Amino acid sequence: MPVSRAGRTILGPGLALAAALALALPAALTAGVSNAAPPAPRPATRLETYDVPNDAGHAIELVWVASPDDQPGRGSVTQYYIERSESTAGPWTLVDSTSAGVVRRTDSSVRRNTPYYYRIVAVGPGGSTPAGSLTGPAVATSSWVNTTRSSVLAFTALFFAFVLYYIYSAQAGRKPFVRRIPGIDAIEEAIGRATEMGRPVLFVPGVQDIDDIQTVAGLVILESVARLTAKYETPIMVPVSYPIPFTIAQEMVRGGYLHAGRPEQYSPDSVRFVSPEQFAYVAAVAGIMLRERPAAHIFMGSFYAESLLLAETGFSTGAIQVAGTANVHQLPFFVVACDYTLIGEELYAASAYLSGEPKLVGSLKGADLIKLTILVVVIVGCALETSGIHWLSQWMVTQ
């Protein structure tokens, strides 16, 4: 019978020793008898504990030397139990187990700054044997800096520096040049067409919640679109899939009408909460497209399988369609079914481009400069790797 099983607490090393003897004694007594149970395995040794670096003090790594009976094919050891206690006297609690042959484990269930003692129990068909000694105290502590993320920190700092420089230089009066983005120019064209036809504009800000930055980007564009619809006195319809984007979308549309100087035209019903369920949302939006026949469909945000369902339904109504997403797998669907598509970063640039505000446009230049930096680093990295020099790629590895 094993001394310890999953979920069982062992009371003290003395009792563990007695239990080991109890296991060993019957084994000795039955020695020489045919079909006797195999002896309990010899214990694992030299358990060492390390505080896992670069974390918030939630993990201790354990490394030990396997039991001499832990040999491939012998089957004397089937697994190791990792037991933990807050004092040398126990009680010992089983916290994890590994299969035979594995001599490393990370205990991620520890509390920060709490001393723990560990021991390894070798388990086999003949019983289990706790290690003769225990190891500790091991303490998990918080690190101040995650050094494996130094490369990300360096690039983030550089990026922020570039963006801040261009924002402040734009504030000083130097408006940076930004190339034309036909997809964004098409938004005004689409709204103009809806105005001529006397039909509404449909704006879909994606199907994700506000924690997806694409939804934020889509909602920021919505403000500019609402300004245009207010200017042209064209109704706008915004079905939203999550409640927080819904409240923000209401603010955006209201703000757009306010900025256009026509707050009285704002209708609270123009922004509607539909459903966070993907296909329920698709059904609702497709229904709006087919029943209310908007002349312009603008899809800006994060989309998944519904991208083609929406864009193809919209195409069948003959509406002018402009889409933008950074979800790479949905881009081909939008490219096929829409008149204009904003690809990846263009979605994030759209609000700056539409507003024309120098400070916002300045941030685009910062992004361009860091892209150039990344390009140079990629080329240098390729050259170094080809030459057998790996420090740059190793520095880039993060945890």
Nearer to another protein, 20 or 52 (CB): 52
Nearer to another protein, 320 or 364 (CB): 364
For residues 100-121, b (16+ Cβ closer than 10 Å) or e, as one string? beebebbbeebeeeeebbbbbb
Residue 237 interacts with another protein (CB under 8 A): yes or no: no
C-alpha span between 37 and 47 (Å, rounded): 28
Q: Are 168 and 176 in contact (CB under 8 A)?
A: no
Q: Measure the N-to-C terminal CA separation of the chain; round to a whole number of Å.
A: 42
Q: Which stretch binds another protein (CB under 8 A): 13-21, 62-70, 73-81, 359-367?
A: 359-367
Q: Which whole-number Å values give the CA distances from 303 to 22, 150, 237, 336, 369, in the listed order?
A: 64, 33, 18, 15, 28
Residue 223 interacts with another protein (CB under 8 A): yes or no: yes
- The size of the interface with another protein (CB under 8 A), counted in residues, is 86
Closest by Cα among 65, 66, 58, 44 to 116: 58
Closest by Cα among 343, 54, 296, 128 to 196: 296
Closest by Cα among 365, 364, 321, 361 to 339: 321
Residue 396 interacts with another protein (CB under 8 A): yes or no: no
Q: Say which amino acid occupies 122.
A: A
Q: Which of 256, 289, 298, 330 binds another protein (CB under 8 A)?
A: 256
Residues from 125 through 144 that contact another protein (CB under 8 A):
142-144
Q: Which of 117, 333, 340, 353 binds another protein (CB under 8 A)?
A: 333
Nearer to another protein, 296 or 311 (CB): 311
272: buried, middle or exposed (CB in 10 Å: 19+, 13-18, 0-12)? middle
Taking the CA atoms of the chain, what radius of gyration do you get in angstroms?
Answer: 32
Residues from 33 through 52 that contact another protein (CB under 8 A):
none
Residues from 155 through 214 that contact another protein (CB under 8 A):
156, 159-160, 163-164, 167, 209, 211, 213
CB of 195 to another protein, least distance (A): 22
CB of 372 to another protein, least distance (A): 11
CB of 190 to another protein, least distance (A): 19
C-alpha span between 113 and 118 (Å, rounded): 15
Contact flags string 279-318 toward another protein, x per CB under 8 A: xx-xx---x---x-------------x--xx-xxx-----
CA angle centred on 224, ends 293 and 276, rounded to 5°:
60
CB of 95 to another protein, least distance (A): 22
Nearer to another protein, 18 or 244 (CB): 244
Q: Which stretch binds another protein (CB under 8 A): 30-38, 68-76, 172-180, 368-376?
A: 368-376
Q: Which of 48, 196, 251, 385 binds another protein (CB under 8 A)?
A: 251
Q: Are 163 and 367 in contact (CB under 8 A)?
A: yes
Residue 258 interacts with another protein (CB under 8 A): yes or no: yes
Q: Which two tokens stand for residue 31?
A: 């020695």
CA within 13 Å, CB half, 72: 1
CB of 384 to another protein, least distance (A): 19
Nearer to another protein, 16 or 216 (CB): 216
Residue 339 interacts with another protein (CB under 8 A): yes or no: no
Q: Which 3 state secondary structure label does DSSP give 101? A: coil
CB of 369 to another protein, least distance (A): 10
Residues from 99 through 128 that contact another protein (CB under 8 A):
112
Q: Which two tokens stand for residue 156?
A: 């983030």
Residue 231 interacts with another protein (CB under 8 A): yes or no: no
CB of 242 to another protein, least distance (A): 8
Q: What are phi and psi of 117, to 5 degrees?
A: -110, 145
CB of 183 to another protein, least distance (A): 14
Nearer to another protein, 252 or 289 (CB): 252
Nearer to another protein, 10 or 237 (CB): 237
Nearer to another protein, 145 or 172 (CB): 145
Nearer to another protein, 77 or 249 (CB): 249
Strand ranges in 224-326 using DSSP code E only, listed in sequence order = 236-240, 271-273, 296-300, 320-325
Residue 217 interacts with another protein (CB under 8 A): yes or no: yes
Instruction: State the CB neighbour count (10 A cutoff) for residue 163.
Output: 18
Position of tokens 């057998």?
A: 388
